[in-house]
Amino acid sequence: MSHTSHIEARWDEYRRALRPTDQAVFDRLFEYAQLHTDSSTVHRPLFVETPILVSILIEQQTQIDDLEDRLDHVEDDLNRQR
């Protein structure tokens, strides 16, 4: 069991209490954390959840940046059509 999976298992009761749509979001957040497990293993924080949360934030920010970039392109295309 990976480090992230172990922590995810500790959150299982919380996850079960969420609405099904929120459970899917919760699962996706831990998928984001899995994408950064290599960097999380070299850092030894006081709270073991910290690298997981930072990994989630990194992935979410990457997605936000991508969406902003795509929106800029759409706006540019619309402005050129005028």
pLDDT at 68: 95
Which among 64, 38, 40 has a CA at the least distance from the CA of 52? 40
Asked if pLDDT for residue 77 goes beyond 90, the answer is yes
Which residue bears the tokens 């069991």? 1
What's the mean pLDDT in 35-39? 73
Asked if pLDDT for residue 40 goes beyond 80, the answer is no
pLDDT at 17: 93
Q: What is the residue-averaged pLDDT of the chain? A: 83
Q: Is 69 left (phi over 0), alpha (psi -120 to 50) or beta?
A: alpha
Any idea where the domains of the chain sit in the sequence? 3-81
- pLDDT tens readout for residues 44-66: 666 777 778 877 888 898 899 99
pLDDT at 44: 66
Which residue bears the tokens 């979001």? 25
Burial class (CB in 10 A: 0-12, 13-18, 19+), 57: middle
Contacts of 82 (CB under 8 A, 6+ apart): none
